[in-house]
Amino acid sequence: MCNPPMPLSPPLAALDPLRIYDVLILGGGNAGLCAAIAARQAGASVLVLEQAPRSLRGGNSRHARNFRVMHDAPSEYLHAVYRRNEYWNDLAQVRGGNVDEGIARVLITESARVIPWMTDCGARFERPQSGVLTASRKTAFLLGGGKALLNAYYRTAQRLGIGILYGTEALSLRIKDHVAREITVSTHGHAQTVRAKTVVVASGSFQANVGWLKRYWGEAADHFSIRGTVYANGRVLANLLDQGAASIGNPATCHMVAVDGRAPKYDGGIVTRVGCMPFGIVVDRNGRRFYDEGANIGPSRYSLWGQLVARSPGQVAYAVSDAKAAGLFRPSIYPPIQARTIAELARRFAVDADTLVETVRTFNQAAGPVLAGGAAPSACRTEGITPPKTRWALRIDTPPFTGYPLRPGVTFSYLGVKVDERARVLMTDGRPAANVFASGSIMAANVIGQGYLAGIGMTIGTVFGRIAGREAARYAGY
Ligand X SMILES: Cc1cc2nc3c(=O)[nH]c(=O)nc-3n(C[C@H](O)[C@H](O)[C@H](O)COP(=O)(O)OP(=O)(O)OC[C@H]3O[C@@H](n4cnc5c(N)ncnc54)[C@H](O)[C@@H]3O)c2cc1C
Positions that interact with ligand X (CB under 6 A): 26-32, 49-52, 57-61, 63-66, 169-170, 202-204, 227-229, 231-232, 235-236, 269-270, 411, 440-441, 455-458, 461
CA dihedral sign of residues 227, 231, 235, 237: negative
State in angstroms the smallest separation of the CB of 245 from ligand X: 15
Smallest distance from ligand X to CB 166, Å: 9
Residue number, 287 or 461, with CB nearest to ligand X:
461
Q: Shortest Cβ distance from residue 231 to ligand X (Å)?
A: 3
Angle, CA 299 vertex, CA 298 and CA 301 arms, to 5°: 75
User: With 0-12 CB in 10 A as exposed, 13-18 as middle and 19+ as buried, what is 369?
Assistant: exposed
Least distance to ligand X, CB of residue 140, Å = 10
3-class DSSP assignment, residue 201:
strand
Identity of the residue, 188 or 374, whose beta carbon is nearer to ligand X in the bound complex = 188
SS3 label, residue 109: helix
In angstroms, give the least distance from the CB of 132 to ligand X. 14
Closer to ligand X by CB, 200 or 360: give it. 200
Q: Are 94 and 454 in contact (CB under 8 A)?
A: no
Amino acid at 64: A
Inter-residue contact 385 to 202 (CB < 8 Å) = no
- Phi first, then psi, for residue 184 (nearest 5°) are -95, 130
For ligand X, the closer of residues 110 and 169 by Cβ is 169
Helix (H) or strand (E) holding 151: helix 145-160
Cα separation, 288 vs 282, whole angstroms: 8
Helical (H) or strand (E) element with 98: none
303 vs 359 by CB, closer to ligand X:
303
- Residue closer to ligand X, measured from CB, 136 or 402: 136
Among 313, 203, 332, CA closest to 264:
332
Q: Which residue, 50 or 100, is less far from ligand X as judged by CB?
A: 50
Task: Give the span between the Cα atoms of 235 and 237, in whole angstroms.
Answer: 5
Least CB distance to ligand X at residue 293 (A): 23
Least distance CB 335 / ligand X (angstroms): 20
Q: Is 432 helix (H, G, I), strand (E, B) or coil?
A: strand
